[in-house]
Structure 1
Amino acid sequence: MTGSQQTRVDMHVKILNDEVVSRAKRRGIDVLVYAPHFTRLPEIRRTAANYTDDDLLVVPARELFTGDWNNRRHLLAVGLSEPVADFITFEAAMAECDRQGAAVVVPHPSFMNVSLTWPEIRAHAARIDAIETYNAKLFPHQNRRGQRIAADLDIPGVGSSYAHLPSTVGEAWTLFETDSDSEDALVEALKTAAPRRVQHRSGIGHRARSGLEFSHLLYENTWEKVDRLLLSGDEPTHPRNLVYEGRFDDVSVY
């Protein structure tokens, strides 16, 4: 740990393996929040537990895709106890987070067509626990926009690497002035607006790794991936997947 009353948390990574864990430890990260795309919560929990040890806590989370593919709004939910499907309505996703007592973080605010806009964040500010104010994948002007939104609405910020590539892990983090040494403690820190600082690395290497992460968007948003995710209705987090036993049929957008 970084100190008896501090916890350095990379608030959002997409990948988890031995290389990621090793890099996180070298970068002084105490906690990784692991939220891979289109993966059910039980699998995320199992993987997180397998990579947690005395030096690094991996907290399972879900980046929920709400709305349809062209107008999706992402929510990072930390502390879910039950699975929640993707591609359900925004209100349904928020209701599930409320019911389960999960902390709600807005990742990459006002970014492209995948994020909550400033007016949407304002409308739901009372139900939002934090806004991502530094994302290592984004350009400086995009991060400044998130910082302005958080300041305007008086919502605490968080920082993350948003790593889809191992080299980006630990490029940005949130330094909580508390011991967030468990999933419950991190959820509590988020929901109670615990004191924190958003920090990140700098220099040419940081900018280069950020550029590589941004270029990864080209892969993420291909129509081939859309087809694979949405056409069959049998993907892991599709709302009509049999594993959800019809819970989300009434709020599914597909």
Structure 2
Amino acid sequence: MPTTRVDLHVKVLDDDVVRRAKAAGVDVLVYAPHFTRLPELRERAAAFSDDELLVVPGREVFTGSWRDRKHVLAVGLDDPVPDFVTLDGAISEFDRQDAAVLAPHPGFLTVSLTAADVERLRDRIDAVETYNPKHLPHHDRRARKVADAYGIPAFASSYAHRPETVGGVWTEFDADIDSEADLVDALQSGVSRRTYHQRNARFRARELAEQLHLGYENTWEKVDRLLLSGMEPTHPRHIAYGGKFDDVAVY
């Protein structure tokens, strides 16, 4: 039976990331950095793809406001979708584009879909993340309970904000996945899969480094975003979106 190893969520992409993914036998990476528009994602993903590794662009959209933001990961978008739109507005646009919709880190801190959100959107969410290195064990258990409660397939990802984490986590699908369309189809059709992560001391150290990075991400980096950087390139009122999302923008 054909199988394909996929890391469904990375934030970093460079030669080191590609080398680590290939060394671990990962076949597909979903590259979904924050605040980056889809055309740039597509260009960068194509530049790092080759016969050994497919890089697929994804968008982890910040729905809601900074105070009440809920991340949703979309794979298979044809048109850009901004951040800071309502959750229902984002889901409606994903539906229009027939993108695969994933729930990353459910119930995690203040940046995730809640169990109630997953229940309400259960017919539109194609997979729920049940492991990433920023989670603590109780986060994994809670995420697994959410996925199981609503009969939604699970996935694991490196959620790598640091290149060293890539290659330590993957989801193995029982299918050949050679293109973005293949991945979207595997997610939407619920192809059987298994999740894996390394369990040695070296990878545990990388988990800890990712968890420490989370502190930086939610302190100084957030202050920089909020106070110093001005309008994000994925702000719904940015000129690039031509007013298309004004009716669902929260800012």
Give the TM-score normalised by the residue count of structure 1: 0.95
Q: Matched residues in 2 for 1:40 and 1:194: separation?
A: 29
Following TM superposition, by how much is the alpha carbon of 1:222 offset from its aligned partner in structure 2, in angstroms?
2.2
Runs of 4 or more off by more than 4 Å in structure 1?
A: 229-233
- In the alignment, structure 1 residue 221 sits paired with structure 2 residue 218: yes
Q: Counterparts of 1:1-254 in structure 2 under 5 Å?
A: 5-222=2-219, 225-226=222-223, 228-229=225-226, 234-254=231-251
Q: Which runs of 5+ in 1 are unaligned?
A: none
Let me know the Cα RMSD of the aligned residues: 1.4
Q: Distance in 2 between matches of 1:127 and 1:230?
A: 35
1:164 alignment partner, SS class: coil
Q: Displacement of 1:134 after TM fit? A: 1.2
Could you list the runs of 5+ residues in structure 2 that have no partner in the other structure? none
Q: Look up the SS of the partner of 1:91 in the other structure.
A: helix
Q: Distance in 2 between matches of 1:230 and 1:75?
A: 24
The one-letter amino acid of 1:31's match is: V
- Take 1:135 and 1:228, find their aligned partners in 2: how far apart are those partners? 24
Contact 1:64-1:74 within 8 A present in 2 as well? yes
Q: Return the offset for 1:174.
A: 0.4
Q: Is the 8 A contact 2:71 2:103 kept in 1?
A: yes
* Per-residue deviation, 1:51: 0.1
Residue 228 of structure 1 and its aligned partner are, at CA, apart by 2.9
Report the AA paired with residue 119 of structure 2: R
- Asked if the contact 2:134/2:214 (under 8 Å) is kept, the reply is no
Describe the shift of the 1:231–1:252 C-alpha distance in structure 2 as closer, same or farther (beyond 3 A): farther
How many residues are paired up? 251
